[in-house]
Amino acid sequence: MKTLYVTDLDGTLMRNDKTLSDRTIRTINSLIDQGMIITYATARSFHSAWEITRDIHFSVPVITRNGTVLADQIQKRETDISRFGDGDVNQLRQMLSGIIEPMGFVTAYFDGHMTKSYRQGELSIGLQKYVDDHSNDKRMRPVTGDIDLFAGIVTYVTLIAEKEELQPIYEKVRNAGNWECVFQKDTYGEEYWLEICPCGATKAKAVLRCKERLGCDRVVVFGDSVNDLSMFAVADEAYAVANGIDEVKEKATRIIDSNEEDGVAKFLMKEWKNLSLQTVSNTPQ
């Protein structure tokens, strides 16, 4: 039976310092070399995810931007990109007018190149932190007007602020249009993120696309946070790391060791050994 293993990155495969341990890197590379089908699904952009996972040679499509983008890790290129329709963009621009300017940015493509546009001026603490952290990122694009903010081929909208500020915005937009919404606390800080993606762009649907594309029979997933719940719902088995939120643990097949303890890597190694033993025991003598 052919199984696809899919792990979240932040808070699941990655440690709290936003790195991967040497043990995790060695283990996953070894398992991939032996034929285990492993990939990741993250809310990060591919560029951001690649910088962290570059030492692991994932050989099947990786899932980024909460399922909005599939990418080729080896070739270092995005291959499948979901986008908002023009009507959806206009609707979002109108609904978020006067709201997005201090707290959000819009991810779009110009001639195949990704940009993150944000309105110049006074920003929320969360967005200012994000902009400061990405001060050397050439994809950051400060703009002066709403038209420029939503220019290009729009694929993703992100708002970062306090929970109390974002909650009513989430309630306003989540069922108002042809899109998907993820609302959750930042893994590494106190801010909350509201992420709006094109319709059908979820981790779950991206996982199922990969499952079909790779001809797999089963899916096993790993996660820690709200945006992992969709893929937990479509998986044959779903494992929450010990540091995961209660809502994810409640939906899990079982709870494994935390991200600080290489929980995913240890589980995968044990799984591979068990599968190898089963293969040997089922081989005619």
Share of the chain above pLDDT 90, in %: 92
Q: What is the domain class of 3-81+201-282 according to CATH?
A: alpha beta
The two domains 3-81+201-282 and 86-198 share their CATH topology (first three levels equal) = no
How far apart are the C-alpha atoms of 40 and 62, rounded to whole Å?
6
Q: What mean pLDDT is predicted for residues 169-178?
A: 95
- pLDDT at res. 283: 52
pLDDT-based confidence at 145, cuts 50/70/90?
A: confident
Q: What is the pLDDT of residues 175-217, one digit of tens each?
A: 999 999 999 999 888 999 999 999 999 999 999 999 999 999 9
**Residue 258 to residues 25, 239, 241: CA-CA distances in angstroms?**
16, 11, 5
Burial 1-39, CB ≥16 within 10 A → b, else e? eebbbbbbbbbbbbbeeeebbeebbebbeebbeeebbbb
User: Is residue 284 over pLDDT 70?
Assistant: no
Q: What mean pLDDT is predicted for residues 121-125?
A: 92
- pLDDT at res. 147: 82
Q: Which residue has the higher pLDDT, 284 or 71?
A: 71
Asked if residues 204 and 211 have their Cβ atoms less than 8 Å apart, the reply is no
- pLDDT at res. 276: 80
Share of the chain above pLDDT 70, in %: 98
- The yes or no reply on domain 86-198 and CATH 2.40.50.110 is no
Q: What mean pLDDT is predicted for residues 252-269?
A: 98
pLDDT-based confidence at 282, cuts 50/70/90?
A: low
How far apart are the C-alpha atoms of 105 and 272, rounded to whole Å?
42
Q: What mean pLDDT is predicted for residues 70-87?
A: 96
The reported pTM is 0.92
User: Is residue 279 over pLDDT 70?
Assistant: no
Rg (Cα) of the chain, in Å, rounded?
A: 19
Q: What is the pLDDT of residues 15-25, one digit of tens each?
A: 999 999 999 99
- pLDDT at res. 237: 98
- pLDDT at res. 234: 97
pLDDT-based confidence at 277, cuts 50/70/90?
A: confident
- pLDDT at res. 146: 77
Q: What mean pLDDT is predicted for residues 156-174?
A: 96
Average pLDDT, rounded, for the chain: 94
Domain boundaries, the chain: 3-81+201-282, 86-198
